[in-house]
Structure 1
Amino acid sequence: MDLEVSRADVRETRLVDQPVPEPAEGQALLRVESFGLTSNNITYAVFGEAMRYWDFFPASDPAWGRVPVWGHAHVVRSHHPDLAEGARFYGYLPAGTDLLVTPSRVTDRGFVDASPHRADLPAAYQAYRDVRTDPIHADDLEAVQELFFPLFITSFITSFLADDFLADEGLLDVDAVVLSSASSKTALIAAYLLPQRDGVHVVGLTSGGNRDFVTGLGVYDTVLDYAETAQLPGERAVYVDFSGSGEVRRDVHTRYGDGLVFSSVVGATHWTEMAAGGERLPGARPTFFFAPDRVVKRTADWGSAALDQTVADSWHPFARWASEWVQVDPVSTPEGLRTAYVDLVDGRIDPAGGTIVTL
């Protein structure tokens, strides 16, 4: 079973039953156990054409797409000599029940899917991490990993690497780092990490309905309503746009003018508003931050094992903190998956909640 989304209208969905594929020689069949469903997955759908997210898991009809998600799966049938049946992995999966892979570079750390249709797609989405050796994995934090870790390491932005990027480029010598969609999981990760660097004042912009929740988490120095951009502090700032709202982007740029030294678009929680505010804006030109490029850079700089360990050292304290407040909403039926997806598209989500799907 797969959840498929119309490539012309991300609100239109259908459930498709298909025969379970039989792996050929050198292939393996993964059974999807569970996965997280967040606004990040809506971002994948919105940018499905532009960023080729639809190409990872071809759908039954080219007019439709299989929504990528992050979760855990195990090998149910293997015709690969180095991949044992029953082994469990964390990685990039379709929102459905099964995935046929062609394992390559199999080690005790996991494998890479070398299926021909994925050959020229970003490498950051190709690796499947063996839970037995993964420094990120903890049995009691699997749900938190499925909800948050994709946003931590390999999405439109990985919050660790965004923090790393801003510091590496000398862009944290400012009065404020302003994050929109402050209640979103990606923004919360960035807000958690950025104050670990001395002198960083982190401002969260959010809706009035989410303001108390965001303030109560205690990770922002200042929390403002979207209508209060005139009150943004300081004269020199960085803007990290997790909402995709053209109107909010215009307001922030107008507030700081030439004092806005960096503006990055990294999300689309307000995806229906992205067409607004496209005129030439004062301050730094908005740029798109593509996390896999940063993953490639730091992997080359440090090596993959060192990068994994560096991320794990930052991840575990955050994951424990997140587990104290996130409210897991379990979904166990195909129709429940479809409903949860539509609720995300329409913005009917509790910022303290997180959907975990087990089919």
Structure 2
Amino acid sequence: MDFELNRTDLHDTRFVAAEPPELADGEALLRIDSFGLTANNITYAVFGDAMRYWDFFPASDPGWGKLNVWGYAHVEDSGNSGVREGMRVYGYLPCASRLVVVPSRITEKGFTDASPHRANLPSAYQGYRDIETDPVYSPDQENEHILFFPLFFTSFLIDDFLADENFFSADTVVISSASSKTAIIAAYLLAKRDAIEVVGLTSAGNREFVEGLDIYDSVGLYDSVSELPGERAVYVDISGDGAVRSDVHAHYGDRLTHSSTVGATHWTQMAPGAGELAGPSPVFFFAPDRITKRGNDWGTAELDRRVAESWAPFAQWAAGWLRVERISTEEEIQTAYLELLDGKVDPASGIVVRLS
């Protein structure tokens, strides 16, 4: 089973039957066990061409792309002596039943995929972690790991980046799409910082949920941007909504010290908005670049240690409010994807796909 999307119409989907392939020497076959579906997966599709996300797992026909997800898989068959059958890993996967990889740089922590078509793609998406040695893995937190960890890594890096830049001399961080999981994690981490106010920007329908999280100092509405607080602000744009971005820039003007584009939860409103933006030009935040920087600064082992240290308390906190929805059939996967695409999923819920 491969779930594919029409790259020019993301509402047009199909399932393609796929037989287990014959392995060449050095290859391994991953049987995909489970993965999460969140707004993050929609971002991969929306930016599929611009950021080459489609290139990781080529579809069966031109013009189609596989939905990219994060989850668990086990080695079903191995033609690589360094990778044992039955090994369970966590990593970047297609929404599919199986994936052929070429394990390389094999260590006790796992391996990277050296498939030729992935050679020039960001290394942050190439690794597969052995759950037996992964410092962030806990068997009783698999759902939280599936749903939050890729987003957690991004939000950890956003928090680290802003703190490293002394918040660009701002006293306030405004985060759009405040009910999204990426925004929630970023706000959770930023709330632990001194001398910075964290403001969530959301819709009227999600306001009660966002306020109930108790991680934002205040919550504003999209139609009341002119009332946002702060003398000097940084904007973390997770919605990707051009009109909201324009309003935030207009409200703060030169008092906006940095504007960072992270996601596209409002992917249908990505038009840049009317006229020139007031204040600084938005800068796209690309997490793999920050991973490379901190890997060089600290070493990958220290980066992993810091992320794991931050992850554990967050996962425990999130488990207190997260409602997990478990699905498994093709019909359920298609329905869940389309609801995510159209922004119809309850922010308190998380969708976990477990394939038989």
TM-score where L is the length of structure 2: 0.98
Equivalent runs, 1:148-163 vs 2, <5 Å: 148-153=148-153, 158-163=154-159
Q: Could you say what secondary structure the match of 2:89 adopts?
A: strand
Counterpart residue type for residue 203 of structure 2: S
- Following the alignment from structure 2 to structure 1, what is the Cα–Cα distance between the partners of residues 170 and 63? 46
Alpha-carbon offset, residue 22 of structure 1: 2.1
Query: What residue number does 1:182 align with?
Result: 178
- Following the alignment from structure 1 to structure 2, what is the Cα–Cα distance between the partners of residues 31 and 212? 40
Q: Could you say what secondary structure the match of 1:112 adopts?
A: strand
Counterpart residue type for residue 54 of structure 1: W
Equivalent runs, 1:264-343 vs 2, <5 Å: 264-277=260-273, 279-343=275-339
- Following the alignment from structure 1 to structure 2, what is the Cα–Cα distance between the partners of residues 89 and 18? 22
Alpha-carbon offset, residue 170 of structure 1: 2.2
Is it true that 1:123 corresponds to 2:123 in the alignment? Answer: yes
User: How many residue pairs were aligned?
Assistant: 355
Is it true that 1:344 corresponds to 2:340 in the alignment? Answer: yes
| Cα pair 1:32 1:98 within 8 Å, conserved | yes
Alpha-carbon offset, residue 355 of structure 1: 0.5
Q: Which moved more, 1:189-198 or 1:269-278?
A: 269-278
Identity, % of aligned positions? 62
TM-aligned CA distance change 1:142 to 1:328, over 3 Å: same
Among 219, 241, 244, the residue aligned to 1:245: 241
Equivalent runs, 1:50-199 vs 2, <5 Å: 50-153=50-153, 158-171=154-167, 173-199=169-195
Alpha-carbon offset, residue 325 of structure 1: 0.7
- Following the alignment from structure 1 to structure 2, what is the Cα–Cα distance between the partners of residues 190 and 245? 19
Query: What residue number does 1:49 align with?
Result: 49
Among 207, 217, 220, the residue aligned to 1:221: 217
- Following the alignment from structure 2 to structure 1, what is the Cα–Cα distance between the partners of residues 191 and 209? 19
Q: Could you say what secondary structure the match of 2:166 adopts?
A: coil
| Cα pair 1:175 1:233 within 8 Å, conserved | no
Counterpart residue type for residue 251 of structure 2: R
1:300-345 Cα deviation digits (max 9, x unpaired): 1111111001000001110111111111111110111111101111
Counterpart residue type for residue 3 of structure 2: L
Query: What residue number does 1:29 align with?
Result: 29
1:67-121 Cα deviation digits (max 9, x unpaired): 1100000000001001000000000000011000000011110000000000000
| Cα pair 2:169 2:257 within 8 Å, conserved | no
1:177-214 Cα deviation digits (max 9, x unpaired): 00000000000000000021111100000000100000
- Following the alignment from structure 1 to structure 2, what is the Cα–Cα distance between the partners of residues 215 and 96? 37
Is it true that 1:210 corresponds to 2:206 in the alignment? Answer: yes
Counterpart residue type for residue 28 of structure 2: A
Q: Could you say what secondary structure the match of 2:344 adopts?
A: coil
Q: Could you say what secondary structure the match of 2:219 adopts?
A: strand
RMSD between aligned residues:
0.9
| Cα pair 1:179 1:202 within 8 Å, conserved | yes
